[in-house]
Amino acid sequence: MCKEVNIDMGCGCYGSGYQRARSFLTKEERIEMLKEYQDELDKEKQGVAERIKQLEAS
């Protein structure tokens, strides 16, 4: 999850040039970022559980 601002391109972590993190996010943006983070953590947890099962089976 990359939440940076490119002066030339707006939000995003792609492109070239100077990039900096936003200092002030709206409440809605913070909620959305936290939901995305939670989703990534859920996926990571699932991946870890699958890996444990693979290792236990071998």
Provide the domain limits for residue 44: 25-58
Task: State which H helix or E strand residue 21 sits in.
Answer: strand 19-21
- Does residue 9 sit within a domain? no
| Number of domains composing the chain | 1
Asked if residue 33 is part of any domain, the answer here is yes
**For residue 8, pLDDT beyond 80:** no
- Determine the distance from the C-alpha atom of residue 12 to the mean position of all C-alpha atoms in its chain, rounded to a whole number: 12
Q: How confident is the model at residue 55 (pLDDT cuts 50, 70, 90)?
A: very high
Residue 35 lies in a domain: yes
Spatial contact of 3 and 33, defined as CB atoms under 8 Å apart: yes
Give this prediction's pTM: 0.59
> Does residue 19 fall inside a structural domain?
no
Structure tokens at 24: 């002030």
